Amino acid sequence: MTTPGPADTLDTAALNDLKDMLGDALAEIADSFLEGLDGEVTAIQQALGADKLAVRAAAHSLKGSAGNMGARVLAALASSIEKAAVEGDMARCAELSVGLPEAAAQARQALTAYIAQP
């Protein structure tokens, strides 16, 4: 699997649209997302020891928040984990979750750089 580049990591067109609508509030929303990101990743990892419903719920939450912030790769990974949980494939959920920390770090870096732009 190839490592996604910055253009793949973040949907800047969607973020530009949000910035047009929200102005400076986008930075506050992004900060809130970034503050909760590690907790959302941890929630999925901890849910792996519980049951498929807990994994599905945690992955669904991350999929939505990452998608709203244009974090394409992270949202797609969370979506794949959610789908595997719905199918009851906990081994696949565990396999996919290994990539969460890196995908979250890439999303964090890309979104932070985007917000820092004038």
Residue percentage of the chain with pLDDT more than 70? 94
Q: Is residue 1 part of a domain?
A: no
Domain that holds residue 16: 7-116
- Give the CATH number, domain containing residue 103: 1.20.120.160
Q: 68 and 52 in contact (C-beta within 8 Å)?
A: no
Tally of structural domains, the chain: 1
List the helix and strand counts (H, then E) for the chain. Answer: 7, 0
- For the stretch 17-46, pLDDT in tens is 999 999 999 999 999 999 999 999 999 999
- For the stretch 61-80, pLDDT in tens is 999 999 999 999 999 999 99
Q: Is residue 19 part of a domain?
A: yes
Strand partners, 71: 10
- The band of 50, judged by pLDDT with boundaries at 50, 70 and 90, is confident
